[in-house]
Amino acid sequence: MVASLDGSISLDGLSGGLSNTADRKVLSTLRVASGCVLVAAGTVQSEGYGTPISPDLTIAVVTNSGSLDWESPLFRSGQAVVITHRSATLPDEIRSIRAGETSVDLIDAIDQLQTLVPNDGFVQLEGGPTLNASLHQLDLIDAINLTVSPQLIGGAGQRMIESTDEHAYRFRLQHAVTDGDCLFTRWLRRSEAAS
């Protein structure tokens, strides 16, 4: 994720205005290393996800509605899998993971998603804020790679996690590296025993 100094994750509705070349390189490297990206349908549409650069990368798109542009480059690439519930209607040719009866059961979905992750890979979560919040509430976030952009945005921009419920889970700093005025951090979930 990338965020401004005041915690906004977008500028003019997109994350690109907060990013720079180094941040895009970090994101690309994490994607390739993961083997599997998990992202909400709204983020796929707003950020314009296309065909993944790596042929081994799977993009798992979470949707309750099943209303997506099936003719987009991402879905035509064959590298996307849709995570939805059993009641959703999808085109026959679209790969899917079904979890939950009338809404997505994220615990079941994540369990099933593991079969698409290479042995040395991981699931790379790319938002949006509502999906992040749902996974946070379930304590399913193990690490956070956060780029801090040297900008103050103000306004009512989105945060990394948007929820009416608070759930405090501790993380520990694994590393912090600068590139110009950008700060690249990695945080690991702190076990309760180590707190």
Confidence of residue 192 (pLDDT cuts 50, 70, 90): low
To which residue do tokens 């994101």 refer?
Answer: 27
What is the distance between the alpha carbons of residues 66 and 97, in angstroms, rounded to a whole number? 12
- Which pLDDT band, with edges at 50, 70 and 90, does 195 fall under? very low
Positive or negative, the CA dihedral 133, 134, 140, 145 is negative
For the cut 70, the answer to whether the pLDDT of residue 29 exceeds it is yes
What token pair was written down for 112? Answer: 């099933």
Nearest CA-CA partner of 131 in 122, 140, 143:
140
pTM of the model: 0.92
For the chain, the domain total comes to 1
- In the chain, where do the E strands start and end? 2-3, 35-40, 58-62, 80-84, 96-98, 122-125, 143-148, 171-179, 182-189
For residues 37 and 77, give the distance between their C-alpha atoms in angstroms, rounded to a whole number.
15
Which DSSP state fits 115?
A: G
Q: For the chain, what is the mean pLDDT?
A: 93
Residue 152's CATH number:
3.40.430.10
Burial of 67 (0-12, 13-18, 19+ CB in 10 A): exposed
Domain housing 43? 2-194
Task: Give yes or no for residue 88 having a pLDDT over 90.
Answer: yes
